[in-house]
Amino acid sequence: MAIPLWLRLPGAFVLSVFLGMAASSVVLVAVHAPVLETFRAIFDGAVGSWSALESSLVFAEPIAFTGLAAAVAFRARVWNIGGEGQMVMGAFGAGLIALNTSLPAPLMLLAVVACGMACAAIWAFISAALKVWLGVNEVLSSLMLNYVAILWVQSLVYGPWREPGGGWPYSAYFPDEARLPTLGSELDICVIFAPLIALALSTLLRFSRWGFEITVVGHSHEAARYAAISVTRITILVMLVSGALAGIAGIQQVSGSAGRLYVLTPGYGYLGILVSWLAGHDPLLVLVMAVFYGVLMQGGAALQIAQIDPSLVRIIQAAIILFALAGLTLARRSQSRLHISKVDRT
Amino acid sequence: MNATVLVSMLATSVAAASPLLLAALGELVVERSGVLNLGIEGIMLLGALTAVAATLGSGSVLVGIACAIAAGMLLGLLFAFLTVTIRADHVVAGLAMVLLGDGLSSFAGHGLVGIDIGQNVPPLALPWISDIPALGQIFFRQNALVYFSYLMVAVVWYFLYRTRPGLALRAAGEKPSAVDVVGWNVFRIRYLAVLFGAGMAGLAGAFLSVAYLSTWAEGMTAGRGWVALALVIFAGWHPIKLLGGAYLFGFAYILIAQSQVLGGVFYMISTYVMQMFPYLMAIAVLAVMGRRAMKQRVGAPEALALPYVREER
């Protein structure tokens, strides 16, 4: 075929996005929604100006971290579906320090971040431990723990941690020392840390011994055993790192622009999984896909402002994702057939 | 708590368990054929909405339920195309189904939130057996969909263990190449299994919206689709054990709903903590099952979530 190899995956992705847009246009026409105005509102509101792009990045921030979390786990074929719950526990951990202690300025923020990441990692560790020692499928245990984590934070913000005198399920505001430094109006420092962490992960996965071991475990448990790599150790390690990364998303949500603990907007954890898959579990591509998804989400918010039904964007999102899923699956297969036939079987 | 209260609680538990049972039975057949459909939650949501919309449109609950099954199967067809034909990753395709079902239902259901459909599936006391003390009240004064769920447990069991197509389906989940060799079509088996499972999930959604609550609310399945997935594992992929698991969870749901009424020790516990109970129970159950599975080697179908590729046979 004439299409060069390096162009196949990005080409398939772009083509899938256009096909998804075409398919969703059909749906929009069917429900008598204005097609051109809808897409224009999404475009203008999400990438059309600097401030629009900034708003898209705000959505992309948590997805980048949950996406990185998923990428690390999925590379070892550890199916951590619990990014959502780990994110929520990260937010809880941040709140635990911010609302209950008073520390001087630099220490406070460090403690908030450390405690958030630790709580999230512990939450992920539960699933890892259940998997390696009790044989519990991690897809289901991490999923169930999502609901438990959300209910736990709900019980706090509707109960003991609710802002005194406040009528809404929010905690009191965090002290300034516990807030993330901001850049611009809504963005926080995480927008700089996300690429740094992605770069570090990418390097570690490619060049370090851990990265190699993770890859081996991801390809074949049998091969790992022959190479004297402990599948148990790698599973636990990967889940701890994955959980901690998802935890950053939660810390960012509460210590960033919100500045207090609340019941986090649901979905970022699951979106991380999708984004990671779209990126082929490559940390740097995860960032690209997170920004892409952030644009889609900000597009939904923009529709609301343009007084078009914002849930239209969910149809568009679903269509694009489905086409991308099909398109990338086919493109990756044709690529791996040329590279290494039959190796990439599960 | 006296006996009458307990009996009525158990009767409502059976009703609360039925959508779980229907969805999980469908998923059990799907997984037995070697496909993992994580999209149950999304399919249930679409089914729940379709049932309400079609009931309002046609004036008949029966039409509503039929449309819900059809809508579920439509999503199922898409899922089967992605996983069986294109061989996309089952986990990711399933999550995409959840997004799609959630997105479609909340988009199309905007105008229907909170509208009472004005009818439901009326309870139907079966002659003779509904008069059996306690048992009759618990099991045989339910609506027709609950009876259908009993029937389906038997049907699925008989199909899987006593018929040739059932054997072929189980084999497709264990060693698809063997099924192919003897001349059965693995792809057709998996397509049909996914369609059946999605139809059952659509029906389970319809149960929630038109038989249980008579209304539509965004995200009304509230995680039941995921619990159904856990139940399949809990049951060790066996339909009869599934029955017990579903009722256990149904009882847990009713206990939560009634906790404030029951008073006493239940009143002390925050409702949020109570609501964690089914999920924690599912994990505990999986842990117990997991240990047993490791000892006795009764586990998931061997080829679960593995795409079948003919030329690699």
Place of tokens 């570690």: A204
Query: Domains along chain B?
Result: 3-300 (1.10.3470)
- A147 inside domain: yes
Give the phi and the psi of residue B189 in degrees, each rounded to 5.
-60, -45
Q: Which residue of B has its CA nearest to A278?
A: B92
Distance CA A274, CA A29 (A): 27
Cβ distance of A346 and B102 shorter than 8 Å: no
Are B29 and B185 spatial neighbours (Cβ–Cβ below 8 Å)? no
Greatest CA separation for chain A: 68
* Both tokens assigned to A211: 């990265």
Residue among A151, A270, A315 minimizing CB distance to B107: A315
Residue among B95, B275, B276 minimizing CB distance to A270: B95
The pLDDT, as a whole number, for residue A23 is 87
Are B158 and B167 spatial neighbours (Cβ–Cβ below 8 Å)? no
Are B229 and B201 spatial neighbours (Cβ–Cβ below 8 Å)? no
The pLDDT, as a whole number, for residue A28 is 82
- Judging contacts by C-beta atoms under 8 Å, the chain B residues touching residue A134 are 287, 290-291
- A36 inside domain: no
Residue B60's region, left for phi above 0, alpha for psi from -120 to 50, else beta, is beta
pLDDT tens sequence across B6-27:
888 888 889 899 999 999 999 9
* Both tokens assigned to A300: 């939904």
Could you tell me if B312 lies within 8 Å of chain A, comparing CB atoms? yes
The pLDDT, as a whole number, for residue A340 is 47
The pLDDT, as a whole number, for residue A9 is 82
Distance CA B175, CA B183 (A): 13
Work out the minimum CA distance from A146 to partner chain B, whole angstroms.
9
Across chain B, what does the average pLDDT equal?
86
Q: Taking 60 as the threshold, does the pLDDT of residue B294 lie above it?
A: no
- A169 inside domain: yes
Are A218 and A345 spatial neighbours (Cβ–Cβ below 8 Å)? no
Are A264 and A120 spatial neighbours (Cβ–Cβ below 8 Å)? no
Q: How many CB atoms lie within 10 A of CB B311?
A: 5
Of how many residues is chain A composed? 346
CATH number, position A148: 1.10.3470
Q: B254, B236, B258: which is closest to B245 by C-alpha?
A: B236
Place of tokens 């389970």: B204
Q: Taking 50 as the threshold, does the pLDDT of residue B132 lie above it?
A: yes
Q: What is the pTM of this model?
A: 0.84
Q: Compute CA B49 distance to the chain's CA centroid, rounded to the nearest angstrom.
A: 16
Place of tokens 């100006």: A49
Place of tokens 């952030």: A294
Residue among A130, A141, A274 minimizing CB distance to B95: A274
Residue among A141, A325, A346 minimizing CB distance to B283: A141
- A71 inside domain: yes
Work out the minimum CA distance from B107 to partner chain A, whole angstroms.
5
Environment class of B163 (CB within 10 Å of its CB; exposed 0-12, middle 13-18, buried 19+)? exposed
- A165 inside domain: yes
Work out the minimum CA distance from A79 to partner chain B, whole angstroms.
9
Number of structural domains (chain A) is 1
- A143 inside domain: yes
Domain with A70 in it:
62-308
- A335 inside domain: no
pLDDT tens sequence across B41-93:
999 999 999 999 999 888 888 999 999 999 999 999 999 999 999 988 888 88
Written as tens digits, the pLDDT of chain A (346 aa) is 566 667 778 888 888 889 988 988 888 888 787 888 888 888 888 888 888 999 999 999 999 999 999 999 999 989 898 999 999 999 999 999 999 988 888 899 999 999 999 999 999 999 999 999 988 888 878 988 998 999 899 889 888 888 887 778 889 899 988 999 888 777 888 889 999 999 999 999 999 999 999 999 988 888 998 988 999 999 999 999 999 999 999 999 999 888 899 888 777 898 899 899 889 899 999 999 999 999 988 988 888 787 777 777 877 888 888 888 888 888 887 776 655 444 444 3
Q: Could you give the residue ranges of the DSSP H alpha helices within chain B?
A: 3-32, 40-58, 61-80, 90-108, 135-139, 144-162, 164-174, 176-181, 186-206, 224-234, 239-262, 265-268, 271-296
Place of tokens 């990338």: A328
Q: A184, A189, A46, A44: which is closest to A110 by C-alpha?
A: A189
Residue among A79, A151, A318 minimizing CB distance to B100: A318
3-class state of residue A239 by DSSP:
helix
Q: Which residue has the higher pLDDT, A311 or B95?
A: B95
Q: How many CB atoms lie within 10 A of CB A158?
A: 16
The pLDDT, as a whole number, for residue A343 is 43
Environment class of A32 (CB within 10 Å of its CB; exposed 0-12, middle 13-18, buried 19+)? exposed
pLDDT tens sequence across B227-254:
898 888 778 888 998 998 899 888 888 8
Are B152 and B243 spatial neighbours (Cβ–Cβ below 8 Å)? no
- CB proximity under 8 Å: B 259-288 to A: 270, 272-273, 275-276, 279-280, 282-283, 286-287
3-class state of residue B190 by DSSP:
helix
Handedness of CA A305, A311, A317, A323 (dihedral sign): negative
- Judging contacts by C-beta atoms under 8 Å, the chain A residues touching residue B111 are none
Mean pLDDT calculated for residue range B253-282: 73
pLDDT tens sequence across B271-291:
777 778 878 888 887 788 766
- A26 inside domain: no
Cβ distance of B103 and A139 shorter than 8 Å: no
* Both tokens assigned to A117: 């990441």
Confidence of residue B298 (pLDDT cuts 50, 70, 90): low
Q: Show the CA angle centred on residue A301, arms to residues A300 and A307, nearest 5°.
A: 90
- CB proximity under 8 Å: A 180-239 to B: none
Reported ipTM: the value is: 0.82
Could you tell me if A160 lies within 8 Å of chain B, comparing CB atoms? no
pLDDT tens sequence across A203-228:
999 999 999 999 999 888 889 989 88
